Structure 1
Amino acid sequence: MNFVPLQESPVVLPEQIARALFGNNPAAWQEMLSALIGAALIGTIMMTMTAFAGPWAKRKITAAFTDRIAVNRVGPFGLFIIVADAVRLLGKELIIPDGADRPAFDLAPIVVASSALLGFAVIPMGSLFGINLHLADPETGLAYVFAVASIATLGLTMGGYASNNKYSLLGALRAVAQNIAYEIPLIVTAASVVIFAGSLQMSTIVAQQQETLFTIGGFAIPAWYAFVNPFAFVLFMVANLAEVGRNPFDIPEAPTEIIAGYQTEYSSVYFVLFYLGEFLHIFLGGAIVATVFLGGADGPASGSIGFIWFTVKIWAVFLFTQWARSAIPRVRIDQLIEIGWKGMLVLSFANLVLTAVIVGVML
């Protein structure tokens, strides 16, 4: 595998918007307005995906895995269930439990949902007909996305504590224990990719995966880090399941044990925000996987429709999380902690050391 020389960062979306609206020398307020427009566009795209994934796709996929019939009565293919669920949930009464700690109770769902949306700011989603869907490209992009995604743990803790419910508090404590146990292996595994790429910048990580790893029968295998280091890819996918709370790691909710845990007391728009945040984090996890291990928006004719390939990859990760939800039984809390600290942590550090040795020999 040959390293791709570092290139100049591509023009990000706010710059493209500013040039289109205000010319080549926009003022500061015009740049700020362009950034807000770009952020609104990216946020709308991701929340639209979430609207399809939560009320509709999740049910359809689960039904397919379990040989059942999913939503099929409301609109073609049951698609209008998205509108029906929105009206139903938002129309419910917002109930605040006695003894709830406000404003922590009010802020928790907002923190969970917004932390995921902030993560998409540095994800290079590829181009669509000449528009580069990438909000910002800082040199510490990978560190940033992990930092803002971890803020969700604070939101879960606030919601569980502020609800004045013992089951909610147990769910919050489980969420903290789980995220600490699996976030360290997640970041350490990503660090092994940083060693290969030589940078924390998301565009550079994607650029380093553009070469051909090897050719089999005339078919070129790309130098995606999932192929370069499949062991790290598997570790990352398992740790990502824990981070987004999918089986076998849905301990913080565990409906049969602690009746939805941290979100037991939430209803109406607050429940919608928690639900939205859950699926936004699943898509953010898929976006990180696609960027770090699957070549980002790389694919046939990716120059003009790279965003479509990127979308296919994050939906593939979403499909994997739904398969895990349907097929893998939940582990006990003691088993979850043991897997994280005694298994994933050790394996992730072993992978990091081995990667450093291999790259050191290559260079």
Structure 2
Amino acid sequence: MGTAPAQLFPEFIVDTLGLDSVIGEVAASLVAAFVVGNIILAFTGVAGPWAKRKITAAFTDRIAVDRIGPYGLLIIPAAAVQLLAKELIIPEGVDRPSWDIAPILLPASALLGFSVIPMGQLGPINLQLADPEVGFALVFAFASIASVSLVMAGYASNNKYSLLGGLRAVAQNLAYEIPLIVTAMSVVIFAGTLQMSGIVGAQTETLVAIAGVSIPSWYAFVNPFAFVLFLTANMAEIGRNPFDIPEAPTEIVAGYQTEYSSAYFVLFYLGEFVHIFLGGAILAVTFLGGASGPGPESIGFIWFVVKIWGFFLFTQWARAALPRVRIDQLIEIGWKGMLVLSFANLVLTAVIVGVIA
């Protein structure tokens, strides 16, 4: 499958509507961002209230929601109304405006990450907002803002459980973000670029053909060890089992979000799922060929959606099947295991690429 056309989504809107002025280009960029943002929010709207419950129920031999609408789908608007209708309780002693900003910052950081993700083509439209030369670094920078949100929420809540959750979030992100980025750099060495479209384009060639079946040169096939490392660190970054230490309901109530209710809790809940899909998007671009797949290039977006929903399914399997590790085990795995293995993978990748080149 060939690479996506160079024309980005905002440029497509500018050319289609003939918007030549600076104001027109800004308007086209805002419209494109609005469309992409709502696509991601629609995914999270389905994933949070409905898909999460149905998938977990399937893993644990239960039925889950099935009474509200066909297949229980009307639980999505029902849950939204229920949560937003609740009273917003502001505890005494909270540190505002930090307490107010934290729930906004979490989903915003993940949505910013999607600004440089190449989501493939949908007909004549290339669903990517921007493709800077340092896009790969930008997406990790945007995603890392989430840890600031968790620390702010934990500190500002004036609650010992929230504070513990914030401190755990810092410890977890420090322990796993370094291995995550170091492992990702091994992909950059292979691709020779930090540009997201370039990384996807480098995975479009055929790695090997067996019995007439072509296996693409996705980096998950080229370097499966790095893929497993990245997947593990990614699960820790998005805080899913066995690494849901910052909220750990059986230990610290709900951690950093203990004191949040109503719309503020909805924002935290939304941010959690947007980050899951962002983690899946980064994994897809980095190791799974982005939007590439069988069929014409014009349906690339469909393959991209399949891959990020596949990652979501994996996170829910982990949530249902894997027990939470202790905080000391989490730190030990990160610093003594993942960090060492990620640097070993980086050095080995550099040597192999250097010899081949």
Shorter chain as normaliser: what TM range?
Answer: over 0.9
**Equivalent in the alignment of 1:332:** 326
Aligned pairs for 1:317-356 (under 5 A) are 317-356=311-350
- CA deviation map 1:216-243 (0-9, x unaligned): 1100000000000000000000001100
Give the AA of the match of 1:14: P
1:15 to 8, 11, 16: 11
Write the distance in 2 (CA, Å) between the matches of 1:247 and 1:141: 28
Aligned pairs for 1:20-31 (under 5 A) are 20-22=16-18, 26-31=20-25
**Pair 1:218 & 2:197 matched:** no
- Please tell me whether the aligned partners of residues 160 and 262 of structure 1 are also in contact (alpha carbons under 8 angstroms): yes
1:312 is paired with a residue whose SS is: helix
Deviation at 1:304, TM superposition (A): 1.1
**Equivalent in the alignment of 1:138:** 132
Unaligned runs of 5+ in 2: none
Q: Once superposed, what is the RMSD of the aligned Cα atoms?
A: 1.3
Query: Does the C-alpha gap of structure 1 residues 29 and 226 become closer, same or farther in structure 2, counting only changes over 3 Å?
Result: same
Query: Does the C-alpha gap of structure 1 residues 290 and 40 become closer, same or farther in structure 2, counting only changes over 3 Å?
Result: same
TM-score (norm 2): 0.98
**Equivalent in the alignment of 1:230:** 224
**Pair 1:171 & 2:165 matched:** yes
**Equivalent in the alignment of 2:245:** 251
**Pair 1:192 & 2:189 matched:** no
- CA deviation map 1:258-284 (0-9, x unaligned): 000000000000000000000000000
**Equivalent in the alignment of 1:287:** 281
**Equivalent in the alignment of 1:124:** 118
Write the distance in 1 (CA, Å) between the matches of 2:107 and 2:202: 31
- Please tell me whether the aligned partners of residues 9 and 137 of structure 1 are also in contact (alpha carbons under 8 angstroms): no
**Equivalent in the alignment of 1:113:** 107
Deviation at 1:8, TM superposition (A): 9.9
Give the AA of the match of 1:320: F
2:162 is paired with a residue whose SS is: helix
Write the distance in 2 (CA, Å) between the matches of 1:9 and 1:240: 29
Aligned pairs for 1:295-334 (under 5 A) are 295-334=289-328
Deviation at 1:9, TM superposition (A): 6.8
Write the distance in 1 (CA, Å) between the matches of 2:305 and 2:5: 22
Give the AA of the match of 1:52: V
2:76 to 43, 57, 82: 82
**Equivalent in the alignment of 1:263:** 257
Deviation at 1:39, TM superposition (A): 0.3
Deviation at 1:301, TM superposition (A): 1.8
Deviation at 1:137, TM superposition (A): 0.1
Unaligned runs of 5+ in 1: none
Name segments (4+ residues, structure 1) moved above 6 Å.
Answer: none
- Please tell me whether the aligned partners of residues 115 and 152 of structure 1 are also in contact (alpha carbons under 8 angstroms): yes
Write the distance in 2 (CA, Å) between the matches of 1:95 and 1:292: 42
TM-score (norm 1): 0.97
Give the AA of the match of 2:52: K
